[in-house]
């Protein structure tokens, strides 16, 4: 089989050979490592797959392959180690992050993020804070976010002072880890000149979900960039603090696009009754305009869903909805009735859905 791999000019025969060698385990590893340098892509990928199937026994040889002068072989060795993904592979990749060539360091960091083993965190933290190239620091930050180990938070906070790409990955990673100790540093990061970094900061604060970020997010609703506003509205919804409702109402009046949708969804997530009058007003206005602009249908749907969520989470909304069952607009009446029914509110006990429709507004 090894002879077939080394001598055959037919790539299909070589591919069959590397696939079969996986059955032989450790003795086949040297031949499979050699096959990583094959000139046929399918053979190379077959060799990677076979090495991954052999698993732990292949790791020492793959560690040596990381030192190859052939950059392609080095990259393929990383790929195989990623697929193996056990403790020995993690250890080997961690060493590569610390000691490898620049092109291997970032690839090893990326691989460790895919594996997601927290034992790699120390090596990645060192790489993030090191003086290596920015590409390695960027992938180290991303990997730490994928791993989600809170021990990385101080290093990621420090990385918020790094250059653009690294900073953005640090912001994203802090959001994924979700540790509230990062909130003050992220609030400071809102001052970034680049809108995409500000948008990611809003998203991260939403994922962390700490209410101490609400004042800064309310301020960010006034950002000059539209995407920042949208992400901020979503973040306020995720945090769920009712103090954000007035600012969201204000933002709502200035938009009919994605910001509108994000804000209405935020009302539902927050679940506070103070948003109900605004949502009912939206339904009334949109339903009156519906025949002129059918795209408004999704606005009505979003507002209806938000009211349903509020009715379920905040019983103080039920009185407003009871009053809305006497509204002059049929859609408003129906939404109020449906929300109260879904919430099991006593206001609709014994009332059929047709009755509110026939009732005149007082």
Q: Is the dihedral of CA 124, 128, 133, 139 positive or negative?
A: positive
CB within 8 A of 313, min separation 6: which ones? 271
Name the nearest CA neighbour of 90 among 69, 131, 62.
62
Which pair of tokens denotes residue 53? 């199937």
Whether the per-residue pLDDT at 262 is higher than 50: the answer is: yes
pLDDT at 5: 54
Rounded to 10 degrees, the C-alpha dihedral 203/205/206/209 comes to 160
Q: Does the pLDDT at position 349 exceed 80?
A: no
- Looking at residue 257, its pLDDT comes to 84
Q: What is the pLDDT of residue 356?
A: 56
Q: Is the pLDDT of residue 241 over 50?
A: yes
Contact 42, 51 (CB under 8 A): no
pLDDT, one tens digit per residue, over 139-159 is: 999 999 999 999 999 999 999
Cα-based torsion angle of the residue sequence 138, 140, 141, 146 in order, rounded to the nearest 10 degrees: 130
Q: Name the residue among 178, 80, 159, 139 with its Cα closest to residue 123.
A: 139
Instruction: Using a pLDDT cut of 70, give the percent of the chain over it.
Output: 91
In order of 110, 189, 211, 212, 219, the CA distances from 215 in angstroms are: 35, 14, 8, 7, 6
pLDDT at position 8 over 80 = no
Residue 28 pLDDT grade (very low, low, confident, very high; cuts 50, 70, 90): confident
Lowest mean pLDDT among 6-10, 244-248, 255-259, 346-350: 6-10
Predicted TM-score (pTM) of this structure: 0.85
* CA–CA–CA angle 149, 150, 151 (5° rounding): 90
114 versus 37: which is more confidently predicted?
114
Q: Give residue for tokens 């009053």.
A: 323
Q: What is the pLDDT of residue 163?
A: 81
pLDDT bin (cut points 50, 70, 90) of residue 306 is very high
Residue-wise pLDDT for 58-100, tens only, equals 899 988 888 888 888 888 889 889 988 888 899 999 999 988 8
Q: Tens of pLDDT along 177-217?
A: 999 999 999 999 998 899 999 999 999 999 999 999 999 99
Q: Which residue has the tokens 């037919």?
A: 10
Residues in the chain: 362
Helices and strands (H, E) in the chain, number of each type: 23, 0
Contact 74, 65 (CB under 8 A): yes
**Backbone phi, then psi, for 283, in 5-degree steps?**
-60, -45
Q: How confident is the model at residue 244 (pLDDT cuts 50, 70, 90)?
A: very high
Mean pLDDT of the chain: 88
Predicted confidence at residue 227, as pLDDT, reads 95
Listed range (4-8, 117-121, 223-227) with the worst mean pLDDT: 4-8
Q: Give the pair of three-digit tokens for residue 215.
A: 């004042």
The sign of the torsion formed by the CA atoms of 80, 81, 84, 85 equals negative
**Alpha-carbon distances, residue 11 vs 28, 47, 77, 80 (angstroms):** 18, 12, 21, 20
Query: Residue 33: enclosing H or E segment and its boundaries?
Result: helix 29-35
The band of 362, judged by pLDDT with boundaries at 50, 70 and 90, is very low
């Amino acid at each position: 089989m090894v002879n077939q791999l080394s001598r055959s000019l037919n790539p299909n025969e070589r591919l069959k050979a590397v696939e079969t060698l996986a059955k032989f385990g450790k003795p086949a590893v040297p031949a499979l490592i050699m096959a990583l340098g094959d000139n046929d892509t399918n053979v190379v990928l077959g060799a990677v797959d076979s090495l991954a199937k052999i698993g732990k026994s292949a790791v020492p040889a793959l560690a040596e392959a990381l030192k190859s002068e052939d950059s392609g072989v080095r990259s393929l060795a990383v790929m195989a180690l990623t697929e193996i993904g056990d403790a020995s592979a993690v250890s080997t990749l961690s060493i590569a992050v610390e000691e490898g060539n620049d092109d291997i360091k970032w690839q090893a960091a990326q691989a460790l993020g895919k594996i997601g083993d927290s034992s790699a965190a120390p090596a990645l933290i060192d790489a993030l804070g090191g003086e290596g190239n920015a590409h390695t620091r960027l992938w180290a930050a991303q990997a730490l976010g994928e791993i989600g180990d809170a021990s990385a938070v101080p290093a990621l906070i420090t990385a918020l002072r790094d250059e653009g790409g690294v900073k953005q990955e640090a912001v994203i990673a802090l959001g994924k880890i979700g540790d509230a100790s990062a909130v003050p540093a992220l609030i400071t990061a809102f001052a970034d000149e680049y809108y995409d970094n500000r948008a990611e900061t809003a998203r991260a604060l939403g994922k962390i979900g700490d209410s101490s970020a609400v004042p800064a997010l309310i301020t960010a609703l006034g950002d000059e960039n539209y995407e920042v506003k949208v992400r901020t509205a979503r973040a306020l919804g995720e945090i769920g603090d009712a103090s954000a409702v007035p600012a969201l109402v204000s933002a709502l009046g200035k938009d009919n696009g994605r910001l509108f949708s994000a804000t209405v969804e935020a009302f539902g997530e927050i679940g506070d009754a103070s948003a109900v009058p605004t949502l009912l007003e939206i339904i009334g206005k949109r339903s009156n305009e519906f025949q002129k602009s059918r795209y408004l249908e999704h606005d009505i749907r979003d507002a209806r869903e938000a009211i349903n969520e509020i009715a379920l989470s905040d019983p103080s909304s039920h009185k407003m909805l009871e009053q809305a069952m006497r509204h002059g607009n049929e859609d408003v009446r129906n939404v109020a009735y449906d929300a109260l029914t879904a919430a099991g509110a006593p206001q609709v006990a014994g009332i059929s859905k047709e009755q509110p429709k026939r009732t005149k507004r007082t």
